[in-house]
Amino acid sequence: MTNEIVCAGFGGQGVMLIGQLLAYGGMLEGKEVTWFPSYGPEMRGGTANCSVVISDQPVGSPIVAEPDGLIAMNGPSLARFKAAVKPGGVIVYNSSLVTETPELPGVKICAVPANELARELGNDKIGNMVVLGAFLGLTKAVAVSSIETALQQVLPARRHHLIPLNSAALQKGFSIAEA
């Protein structure tokens, strides 16, 4: 079983982080994983994406050309990657920033108003975790608890007070996908 995922968005939306958390969570579950970033020289505002592979086998190519799962945090990212998603795959997108409603035969699509939900949770920056939660709800790629453990290890100690907020955002997204 191999799960190939692309996370894409504007720089600053936290797509690299959610990709790393997916890979980290997979590793904590004993899987073989890779994370590979692709971005321009910009720190904020440019487009960024990363490829994540989670597998029972040693991972070959770390670059995902035909994802099983796509997380798209903005319109340009959805437009760029949606057609590559494999039949039977999943797209979770940030409907706060995407006006079109994508339709792809054989692909499960989930709209998450990430910006609004983040605001409801009290922190505009947490939209990425809401979308990740929804992705986990749909795909069960890794367990939410594995992501929470990964957060303990990825975040520096001075940021650990934010873990409950991140957990709440993950749960919020997860429940949307389950609904």
Partner 1 sequence: MERVMMKGNEALAEGAIRAGCRFFFGYPITPQNEIPEYMARRMPEVGGVFLQAESEVSAINMVYGAGGAGGRVLTSSSSPGISLKQEGVSYMAGAQVPCVIVNVARGGPGLGGLTPSQSDYFQATKGGGHGDYRLLVYAPGNAQEMVDLIGLAFDKAEAYRNPVMILSDAIMGQMMEPVVLPPLREVAPDKPWATTGKHGRSTPNVINSLGIVGEDLERINIELQEKYARMAADEVRYEADGVEDADLVVVAYGTSSRVVRSAISRLRQEKMKVGLLRPITLWPFPQQVLAELAAAGKRFLVVEMSTGQMVEDVILSVNDRSKVTFFGKLNGTVPTVKEVYDRIRSLLSEGGEG
Binding site for partner 1 (CB under 8 A): 20, 23-24, 27, 32-37, 57-63, 65-66
User: Strand pairing partners for 7?
Assistant: 50, 71
Looking at the Cβ atoms of 50 and 118, the one nearer to partner 1 is: 50
Q: How far apart are CA 10 and CA 13, in angstroms?
A: 6
Nearer to partner 1, 38 or 175 (CB): 38
* Surface-to-core class of residue 70, CB atoms within 10 Å of its CB (0-12 exposed, 13-18 middle, 19+ buried): buried
Parallel, antiparallel, or unpaired: how do β-strands 90-94 and 108-112 relate? parallel
Quote the DSSP letter at residue 163.
Answer: H
Distance of closest approach, residue 121 Cβ to partner 1, in angstroms: 27
For residue 69, what are the β-bridge partners?
5, 90
According to DSSP, the β-strands at 47-55 and 32-39 are: antiparallel
DSSP-derived letter for residue 12 is T
Pair of tokens at residue 65: 């050309």
Closest distance to partner 1 from the beta carbon of 30 (Å): 9
User: Smallest distance, Å, CB 23 to partner 1?
Assistant: 6
Please report how close the Cβ of residue 34 comes to partner 1 at its closest, in angstroms. 5
Query: Closest separation between CB of residue 172 and partner 1, Å?
Result: 26
Q: Cα separation of 139 and 70, whole Å? A: 11
Tokens coding 141:
């790629």
Instruction: Name which of 23 and 177 has its Cβ closer to partner 1.
Output: 23
When the beta carbons of 62 and 76 are compared against partner 1, the nearer one is 62
Nearer to partner 1, 23 or 109 (CB): 23
Nearer to partner 1, 10 or 24 (CB): 24
Question: What is the nearest approach in angstroms of partner 1 to the Cβ of residue 91?
Answer: 21
